[in-house]
Amino acid sequence: MAGRVGQFLEGWHQRRAEQRWARLAGAVGDLESFEVRALRAEARGLRRHLDRVMQAADARMAVPALQSGLPQMPLGTDWAWRPDLWRGALAEPGAVAQSDRTAIGENLALYHDCALGEVVVRQVRNDKAEDRAPYGLAIDIFGFKGTFLSLAMNLPEAAVEGLKARHLVRVEMVIDTETPLRGYARLNIKHGPNLSQPVSSLPQEGRDKLAEFDLAYADMNEKRVERAWVDLILNDVAMTRIVIRDLLISRRPRAEL
């Protein structure tokens, strides 16, 4: 009985919330400017949670299935993460990257210094098992006169919790390109006032790309690690299309000798 009452009350609250937002949508034109600002802030906060629910639901229902294409993790892996863009549909799947920074979801941003701004980023649907992830990121570059183009990924807090110099950080990608890819990955670790930035070149041939960082050579203060992010930096990108079908970041402790 308690379960039925709980379901009834939950459904009643949901209907009341829907009715409230429907009423507010029709009344915005009659509100004062300060009331509109407050209402917009409340709506944005609610939409953030709704978008996360939709994204998680899309990931569960996605084809290929989210877990079906996971690569074999190295023995001892203690953390692995696939950014949200490759897991489920974004609320805003595409944008023209006219400015030097274009946000793509919550964890990613595209940077470039081309004044032409002829760069388009768009989330695309994967449809092959070998693509591994349900979604991918397409970057279409037309006239490009800049000196760099990079994709920055902020790592979650779990990535730096317990991070030690004996860790190996691994970045695995599946990338389709029209021409051989020239680029590299850079791991950025902020520790106190200092920044460690180990770099790994990406193989030009093949769609499977791997970058690995041995933190023993990163000159890192383990006790002061604050945050970390990964930059994917691409060279010679004019008039090309790059589709990052999957991206997975993991870490594991190096085997003791």
Residue-wise pLDDT for 2-57, tens only, equals 566 666 667 776 777 778 888 878 777 777 877 778 888 888 777 777 766 666 66
Residue 71 in any domain: the answer is: no
Residue 73 in any domain: the answer is: no
The CATH number of the domain holding residue 116 is: 2.60.120.260
Whether pLDDT at 61 is above 80: no
Average pLDDT on 201-229 reads 95
Do 40 and 88 sit in the same domain of this protein?
Answer: no
Do 108 and 173 sit in the same domain of this protein?
Answer: yes
Task: Give the 3-state secondary structure of residue 201.
Answer: strand
Do 19 and 124 sit in the same domain of this protein?
Answer: no
Do 85 and 211 sit in the same domain of this protein?
Answer: yes
Do 83 and 20 sit in the same domain of this protein?
Answer: no
Give me the number of domains the chain comprises.
2
Confidence of residue 168 (pLDDT cuts 50, 70, 90): very high
Which candidate, 88, 55, 111, places its Cα nearest to that of 234?
Answer: 111
Do 129 and 249 sit in the same domain of this protein?
Answer: yes
Residue-wise pLDDT for 65-119, tens only, equals 545 556 678 889 999 999 999 988 888 888 988 888 999 988 899 999 888 778 9
Which candidate, 43, 154, 49, places its Cα nearest to that of 101?
Answer: 154
Do 29 and 132 sit in the same domain of this protein?
Answer: no
Residue 250 tokens read as 């993991």
At residue 22, the pLDDT reads 80
What is the span of the domain harbouring residue 18?
A: 2-61
Do 19 and 123 sit in the same domain of this protein?
Answer: no
Do 32 and 151 sit in the same domain of this protein?
Answer: no
